[in-house]
Structures are given as C-alpha cells and as structure tokens.
Chain A
Amino acid sequence: MSNILELRDVTRVFGDRTVLDRVSISIRQGSFTTLLGASGCGKSTSLRIMAGLDRPSGGDVLLDGKTVSGLTAYERNVAMVFQSYALYPHLTVAQNIALPLTMRHLSTLGRVPVLGSLVPGASEARRMILAKVGETAEALGLGELLDRKPGQLSGGQKQRVALGRALVRDPSLFLLDEPLSNLDARLRVRMRSEISALHRRTGKAFIYVTHDQTEAMAMADQIVVMIGGKVAQAGAPRELYERPANRDVAAFVGHNAINFLEQGDGIEIGNSVAGLRPEDLSPDTAGTLSARLESAEYLGSEIVLGLRSAKGTEIRAIAPGDYAVPAPGSELRLGFSPRKLHLFDATTGARLETAA
C-alpha cells in the first residue's frame, strides 16, 4: 500500500506566530487517520493545507506521490466536511448534494435554470446528476428530505447532507474537520459508527480532525497527536496508549486522565516521572503504593477512587464495581503491574525505555 497523501516538513507561519513547525504526516491509501490535539495545536491548519484551502509557508504537500502545492482544493479532488456543515442555505438538500457535480459537469450557461436545458449535453448531465444525488441521498437516509432547505433540518440531518455532498463526487480523499462536535452525545456515538461504516464502504482514505480522544481511539487506525504545532506522536491507537512517546501524549490519550508520580510518592523511580493509568491501579492489600482516600465515584461497572499520596499528589485509581469502599480518610494500599508503568524524563518529558 502506498501513501495517498504526505506532508513533508510543512511549516505555516501567520505573522510572527508559527502555527505548524516542520510537520510531517503520511496517510496510507484507504486508511482512517485522526489528527488529535487540543484547540490551537495546528490540527485544523494541517487539514486546510492538505485540502489546499491554505498554503504552507515551507515544506511540501504530496498527493499520490506528486507535489500539489500549486493545485486548488478542487483540482486536488478532495472532499471536505466542515464543523459548521457549511451548507448553502438557499439551496435545497438535493441541490446542496448536487453542487460539486453541477460545477463539474455543467458549463456556466448550462447551470442557468431554464436556458440551461438548451445547451447541448446539459440534459443528459442533469439526468446523471439527479440519479447520483438520489443514490447518495438513499444511502444516507435523506430520501425524504431532498426538497427541504438546510434551515429546516436538525443537526444530525445537516451532518448527513454535508457527508452526502462529500460522497457524491467520488473524491480521492475525505477530510473531516470536527464533524461531530456540534451534535449531542447520543447522536455523536451513532454518527461515529456511521462514518466508520462509510469509510469501510468507500475504501478511501479518511482524515479526521478531532479534539476528542475517545472519537480518535474508536475510529482511527492511525492517530497523529499534535501538540503546539508539532507532531508529538503518530501511530496506531494501541501503540499510543501502551507506549506514549512523551508525557503530553500520555496525558492526552486514554479515557481516564493518567497519574503522574514522582520520587517520594511511594515508588522508587529515581530522577524521573512515572505515568500510571487509573485503570492499571487498583486497591490491593499487598500493593506497594499507599495513599489516603478522598472521594469515590460509583459508576456501576467500576468505582473511580480519588486519593492523595503522602507527598500531596492527587492519584486516581479504579476499583471493580463490587468493591466495598472504606470511609474517606482511610489509608489504602494500591497495587499495579510494573509492566504498566511508563517512565518519562523529568525535564524533557520524553519516554524512558528502562521501565520494564
């Protein structure tokens, strides 16, 4: 499998602010890549540079092995879904979905409502467009809504129309900029699996920008974590979770915020910082760590314990749902498997490989 898209040492400077600093990202053909990071980390700028909506100040963008720096978004034939959906409010759902096709297959004259039908070839093109739009709309469950305007649709429906507009044109690559962040939690989970299904069906590469690590972990086969305009780590979700390259990535990835322990918190680690995920730390009478219990959140399947070490560091641990929680203030012993301990350099934050 080859790379469909590649950023090579891409830098983007706005005024005196460096938003992207020598970013290199490779996207494999047919893969699902997530650009993950907090707001302002440069993930959206990277996506816009991939799309051709923004130009890099330095570095190269390669599409299918060829430099595309001079090509517009349309010439790159990428599809993009925006956080705001960016639907044309004056066009119906059908017209919104059809727009990329009408722009491609009809001349300027052919797009004029009545006059257009007199242009040679315009009516065949129109029939083809109508058929494709119908097909796409059916696949997304929009068949009933084709004559509505975007203003009459719910958030989820707008999202589907935006997806339809991307799907209808058979692009080389799909770019999605936080497409689910305007939806409510329940709908977000559903759309998540729908987008995954769409990815499997089209077989095209998807690049998905999000700040939500759960979304990234659930959908992607490659996650690129971006911090401060740089690529902090790129790899499969499992790799990122099990072997975070530095402290910041460890803090960003994972459902429960990771604990950082220092010398004096009850473990012998010398002059480094230990990362230990709450799910790898549980009450154990034979455990080596000791901390005072401060709070307990009962979540049914598990109980999240909030503790404090003798040195005052906050520690979170997870106990099974049937664990009998002792009174707050009591000293608890916690156990963990040494294999699950991540060690980081105290000054640079980089991963130390002597852990195991």
Chain B
Amino acid sequence: MRLSPDQRSALTSLWLAGPATLAMVVFIFLPVAIVAVLSFTDYQFGASSFNWSGLDNYIKLFTSSIGQRAITNTLLYVAIVIPFSVGFGLFVAIGLHQMSTWAPRLSNVMKTVYFLPVAATLVAMSVAWQMVLHPSLGIVNQSLAALGAAPQNWLSDRGLVLYTLAMIGIWQSIGYNMVLFLAGLAAIPSDLYDAAEVDGAGSGWSRFWTVTWPMLGPTTLFVMVVTATNAFRVFETVATMTKGGPAFASDTLVYALYREGFVYFKAGYASAITMVFFVFLLVLTLLQFRVVEKKVHYR
C-alpha cells in the first residue's frame, strides 16, 4: 500500500509528537483530573471506599483559620519575594554587565558566586541558614549584639518567621534572575544606546528608562512568571527549618498539602489544596501572559 505524501508527513508528525503527548496525558492531565475528582470526596489514603462530600473540602480550606493562614501566608510570601528578587536580580545583572567591560574576570567570579545558591540544594542550604540564624550562636545575632541591637528569634518568632523565610527565598532566587537578566541585557542592540546618547538620553538614569527597561520587558515578564511560580511552591525551607511553625505562622499551601496528604493521609482535603494551588498558578500565568504580553512586545 502506498501512502500519499500528505499521509506520510502526517504519520511522521504523529510518530514524533505522539509519544510525548501520550506521556503528558498519562502523567500530567490524567492525575490532575483524578486529583480534581478526589477533591470533592472525603477519600483517605489506603481506604477502600469514599463518600462524595461536595464542596466541603474547599469550604474547610477557605473558612478554617489554619486553611486561611496557609493561603494568606503563601500570598504574602509571594508578594515579598517577587519584587525584591526581581529588583535585586536586575540590579545585580546591570552592575555585573557593566563590570564585564572593565573587569571581565572579576565579573565572571561574581556571577558564579551569585549563582551558587541556585545550584546548591536548598535543603542543605537550609541547614547552613539555621546555623547563621541560630538565636544565640548564629552570626546574625552575634553581629546585631556587637552593634548594640537586640538579637531576634528569626525562626521562632511568630511575627518574624515568614519574613525570614522570604528573605532566604529572595537570596536563593536572585542568582537565577540575574542570569536571565544578563542574557536580556546582552541582547539589547548597542545602536539603541548610541541613539539615546545622541538624543540626550545618555545619562545613567534616562538611559535606563529610555532603552534598558523597555528593552528588558519580555525578560522581566518571564522572570516574574518564573519567580512567582517558584515562590508559590515554597516548601523546602518551611519543611526543614520551621515545619510550618511556630503555631502555623509559616504554614504555606504546599506545606499544608504535604502535611494533610502525607502525614494525616487526608487525600480528599490535600487534593482540594492542590486544586487551589493549581488555580492560583493558572490565573497568575494567564494574567501575566494575556495582559502583559501585549505591552511587552510592542506590537
């Protein structure tokens, strides 16, 4: 049997894209669908049956104080991490980009140093942070004491713990954002800077607002999406350093999901948390791509 060229090319496409599509359906879409179904039940891991419970799981998440705490903590954490991580990432990238013209070697060393936290395992880094932030032995409190300031319980003070974790989150993501911004900076045509210079926008500040910032638009959008998704997923630092405590002051969505699902085996409730988490990410991504994309690519 001879196939027409159209049929043959269709077959090739199917052969190339088919396996990946199948894997995606089986390993991503199907589990999401199952989780979505489970979130309307009271299913427990290991149980042989379950009952439909309607929206009970969602009502519990949004009305119980622990559920609300997890949601507000996560949103606050994201709201702190995004601006600082993106801002510092851009700041460091511009600094190192300019440095590479007069001290390329030092600039490369600094890039590596900034990137280390990204490459390192966050769990291992958390141990290091625990030492640094130790109430009596840690270098932070020692320095504060030496300066005459009052030492703080960084990880066990209810009012402080979330900010401490956010600070570590920022520290961890600056390097990654810096690398993305460096790539964006390298792609800006030098002609535009020349034009800005001729047009009278040659001083540092106007150069930044006339050329650098607008030309980094697409990069900034991407960096914000990546930072936001990573911030929403905050888990390692919470699990290793605070376990959501003290008194749920640092409880976050993913940590709550882990606790409910894998410690208390409440698969139904954990599924509901997963769905909420999923919707947050979906809305965020859609918002950024639909609304901001038009403003960023200048069409």
Contact = CB atoms under 8 A, between A and B. Distances in A.
Contacts of B197: 52-53, 72-74
Interface in A89-104: 89-91, 99-100, 103-104
B298 interface: yes
A103 B201 contact: yes
A79 interface: yes
A325 interface: no
B12 interface: no
A90 B198 contact: no
Interface residues of B, number: 21
Given A79-B198, A165-B199, A84 B298 contact: no
A82 interface: yes
Contacts of A152: 299
A301 interface: no
Contact of A80 (B194, B206, B211): B194
A99 B200 CA distance: 9
A68 interface: no
A149 interface: yes
A51 B198 CA distance: 8
A53 B194 CA distance: 7
Given A99-B210, A103-B199, A86 B205 contact: no
A88 B206 contact: no
A355 to B, nearest CB: 45
Nearest to A103: B200
B215 interface: yes
Interface residues of A, number: 29
B200 A100 contact: yes
A74 B199 CA distance: 6
B191 interface: yes
Contacts of A151: 297-299
B192 A88 contact: yes
Interface in A330-353: none
A91 B196 CA distance: 13
A90 B214 contact: yes
Contacts of B192: 86, 88
Contacts of A91: 214
Interface string A101-128: 0011000100000000000000000000
Contacts of B201: 99, 103
Nearest to A51: B198
Interface string B184-200: 00000101101101111
A78 interface: yes
A258 to B, nearest CB: 35
Given A88-B211, A89-B215, A152-B299, A82 B194 contact: yes
B299 A86 contact: no
A86 B191 contact: yes
B198 A73 contact: yes
Interface centre among B197, B199, B206, B214 (most CB of A within 10 A): B199
Interface centre among A74, A78, A83, A104 (most CB of B within 10 A): A74
A88 B299 contact: no
A73 B205 contact: no
B214 to A, nearest CB: 4
Contacts of A99: 199, 201, 210
Contacts of A150: 298
A51 B205 CA distance: 21
B50 to A, nearest CB: 54
A74 B194 contact: no
Interface string B202-237: 100110001100110100000000000000000000
B205 A74 contact: no
A89 B195 contact: no
B220 to A, nearest CB: 12
A103 to B, nearest CB: 4
Interface of A: 48, 51-53, 72-74, 78-80, 82-84, 86-91, 99-100, 103-104, 108, 149-152, 165
Interface of B: 189, 191-192, 194-195, 197-202, 205-206, 210-211, 214-215, 217, 297-299
7 nearest A-B pairs in the assembled complex, by CB-CB distance: A103-B200, A86-B195, A90-B214, A86-B191, A74-B200, A100-B199, A89-B298
Given A86-B194, A91-B214, 17 more contacts: A51-B194, A79-B198, A82-B194, A86-B191, A86-B192, A87-B195, A88-B210, A88-B211, A88-B214, A90-B214, A90-B215, A99-B201, A99-B210, A100-B198, A103-B199, A108-B206, A150-B298
25 contacts: A51-B194, A51-B198, A52-B197, A73-B194, A73-B198, A73-B202, A74-B198, A74-B199, A74-B202, A79-B198, A80-B194, A82-B195, A84-B189, A86-B192, A87-B195, A88-B192, A88-B211, A90-B214, A90-B217, A99-B210, A100-B198, A151-B297, A151-B299, A152-B299, A165-B199
